[in-house]
Amino acid sequence: MVMQMNADVNFSNSSIAQIRNISQCYEAVKRTQDRNILLPGISAFYGPSGFGKSTAANFVATKTNAFYVQVKSTYTKKAFLQALLREMSIPYPATLSEMMELATSELAKSGRPLIIDEFDHLVQGNKVEIIRDLYEGSQGTFLIIGEEMLARKLEKWERFHGRILNWVPALPADINDVTLLASIYAPKIEIDEPVLEQLLAQVRGSTRRVSTNLEMLNEKALEAGVRHISKQVFKELLPDGFVTGESPKPRSF
Amino acid sequence: MQAGTKLSLTQELGSNLMNAGQPYQSPRQRVWTAIRKHREEFTIKQVAELGQMKYDSTRDFITGLKKAGIIAEVRREKLPNMSKKIELIYFKLVEDYGYNTPSVDRQGNILGKSATVNKAMWNTLRITKQPVNASELAAISSTDEQQVSIETADSYLRFLHHAGYLKIARAAHHAVRKAKYQLLPGMDTGPIPPQIQRAKQVFDPNTNTVMYSERPELEEEIKHGTLLLNDEEINDE
């Protein structure tokens, strides 16, 4: 009983593992890890920004103890390999081929997955080949993450494209996600379902906007001293409605 | 408390050796590197010297690795001028775990393959890069296998902020919101989470001076390593 009470106070009782992009991203990596040895080992997770791809990557990284590298637009092959070796806590050697060898063997031997975020930058700079070499050498489990157009961009790299086992599109938030996010970002208030549905309709799937709007609503409600948000209360608290992030319509004079 | 006195003697040396901006290599890590280098055949004494680890500590480590099936005995050799019972044992590496040393106890149990609570929170800060308050950090860093408590997240955020890793993205406001913190761009120092240590120190109010500070990160080095000892002490060990 005491344990139960402690758990209630100290832990948030929502589990982000149930957010659908997080669960499907994790499932994809798990499937890749447990794959038949003859199958390719790369999963690709793609979708528009704000859909919670990095949060999903974070969950997978923690749960599988993966190496995580976020590619920057300035990365050369060398800078990428240095970032990867740093992620592995391995002091880096002088030459590119030595770095490649070390990173490949670490991936193979540790058995830990590799997550590469912002993969688009590697496509633009013709650096896809080094990822393919890393993969071929290690036969590890890779998760690459990129923008909506990633699949199309990668078609050019036929030899790489063929090594992708799962294409996982990031899904727009659904009502379950919104309810879960409400328990994280608006923990102190109770929001009626119609309000959450309105929010969902207005943000067009973006988890990031769901979260920021929930936070704003939480603050406004606490300032006003209300704990329960019905449609009516919502209109009073936020007369302008939720923030949708749409650019303003052209004006007419 | 013997470690304590040694600590103060070696403090200066320690700071030179251990603050080089390179990841800290524990005695076990150094011995593991030596084992991988001589994977076909090595002795305890050999890798202990190469890895600058005390012989007894190295033997414990080797025992664990052997029981875990990571290394195996290759052959034994009689030593000249020694009792017949004493033999030199040669080992080889059987299962290479990669650059980072596997963590095993003396019974050969392999430990710590999953991320710790600190690592989970550190991941959230450096991977999502979004501003978080304590309860958000706890929720986002928890998995179905490992829960992070809001209390732990709160103290981790506070300490990292004191230490200069985080900026306050939004100040706390009485009863309405908790402070939100965000990792500073230059402070993603690497994959290993910064540790909050509980160190004791001696402060003398008469002279307004700190006379002695513990260095918990040197504890392992002092207990198991030979890096901080001078030649005479190494021969004593």
Q: What is the pLDDT of residues A14-38, one digit of tens each?
A: 588 889 999 999 999 999 999 988 8
**Alpha carbon of A251: minimum distance to chain B alpha carbons (Å):** 34
Mean pLDDT on B51-78: 93
Decide the pairing of beta strands A42-46 and A67-70.
Answer: unpaired
Q: For residue B132, what are the CA distances in angstroms to A13, A18, B52?
A: 17, 20, 42
pLDDT of B236 reads: 58
- pLDDT of residue A10 exceeding 80, the answer is no
**Cβ within 8 Å, pair A68-B127:** yes
Nearest Cα residue in chain A from B178:
A219
Which residues in chain B are contacts of A110 at CB distance < 8 A? 97-100
Tens of pLDDT along A83-97?
Answer: 999 999 998 888 999
Tens of pLDDT along A169-194?
Answer: 999 999 999 999 999 999 889 999 99
Under a CB-based contact definition with an 8 Å cutoff, are residues A192 and A230 in contact? yes
Nearest Cα residue in chain B from A184:
B136
What ipTM does the predicted assembly reach? 0.88
Query: Which one of B99, B123, B149 has the shortest CB-CB distance to A62?
Result: B123
Query: Which one of A17, A54, A110 has the shortest CB-CB distance to B97?
Result: A110
Phi, psi for residue A56 in degrees, rounded to 5: -65, -40
- pLDDT of residue B222 exceeding 90, the answer is no
- pLDDT of residue A12 exceeding 70, the answer is no
Give percent above pLDDT 70 in chain A: 94
Q: For residue B129, give both structure tokens.
A: 């890069």
Nearest Cα residue in chain A from B154:
A10
Q: Cα(A115)–Cα(A119) distance, rounded to whole angstroms? A: 10
Which residues in chain B are contacts of A222 at CB distance < 8 A? 175-177
Cα A218 to chain centroid distance, Å, stands at 24
Could you tell me if A212 lies within 8 Å of chain B, comparing CB atoms? no
Q: Which residue has the tokens 């207005």?
A: A202
Under a CB-based contact definition with an 8 Å cutoff, are residues A146 and A44 in contact? yes
Assign B21 a pLDDT band (cuts: 50, 70, 90). Answer: low
Which residues in chain A are contacts of B192 at CB distance < 8 A? 89
Mean pLDDT on A102-131: 91
Assign B74 a pLDDT band (cuts: 50, 70, 90). Answer: very high
**Cβ within 8 Å, pair B141-A102:** no
Which residues in chain A are contacts of B136 at CB distance < 8 A? 184-185
Under a CB-based contact definition with an 8 Å cutoff, are residues B102 and B70 in contact? yes
Q: Cα(A189)–Cα(A112) distance, rounded to whole angstroms? A: 40
**Alpha carbon of A187: minimum distance to chain B alpha carbons (Å):** 9
Q: List, in order, residues 6 or more apart from A12 with CB less than 8 Å away.
A: A183, A184, A187, B135, B138, B139, B142, B150
Mean pLDDT on B128-145: 92
**Cβ within 8 Å, pair B190-A184:** no
Q: Cα(B77)–Cα(B39) distance, rounded to whole angstroms? A: 18
Which residues in chain B are contacts of A223 at CB distance < 8 A? 176
Tens of pLDDT along B166-177?
Answer: 999 988 887 777
Tens of pLDDT along B76-118?
Answer: 988 887 777 788 999 999 999 889 898 888 888 887 667 789 9
Which residues in chain A are contacts of B175 at CB distance < 8 A? 222
- pLDDT of residue A8 exceeding 50, the answer is no
- pLDDT of residue B10 exceeding 50, the answer is no
- What DSSP element (H or E) covers A235? helix A231-237
Q: Cα(A142)–Cα(A107) distance, rounded to whole angstroms? A: 10
pLDDT of A11 reads: 57
pLDDT: which is higher, A220 or B234: A220
pLDDT of A9 reads: 47
pLDDT of A80 reads: 95
Assign B41 a pLDDT band (cuts: 50, 70, 90). Answer: very high
Query: Which one of B114, B138, B176 has the shortest CB-CB distance to A219?
Result: B176
pLDDT of B5 reads: 42
pTM surpassing 0.80? yes
Q: Which residue has the tokens 């990129």?
A: A146
- C-alpha neighbours within 13 Å on the C-beta side of residue A189: 31
- What DSSP element (H or E) covers A145? strand A142-146
Give percent above pLDDT 70 in chain B: 87
Per 3-state DSSP, chain A is made up of helix, strand and coil in percentages (nearest 5) of 55, 10, 35
Under a CB-based contact definition with an 8 Å cutoff, are residues B4 and B214 in contact? yes
Q: List, in order, residues 6 or more apart from A199 with CB less than 8 Å away.
A: A178, A210, A213, A214, A242
Give the bridge partners for B173, in sequence order: B177
Torsion-angle region of residue B208: left (phi > 0), alpha (psi -120 to 50) or beta?
Answer: left
Assign B235 a pLDDT band (cuts: 50, 70, 90). Answer: low
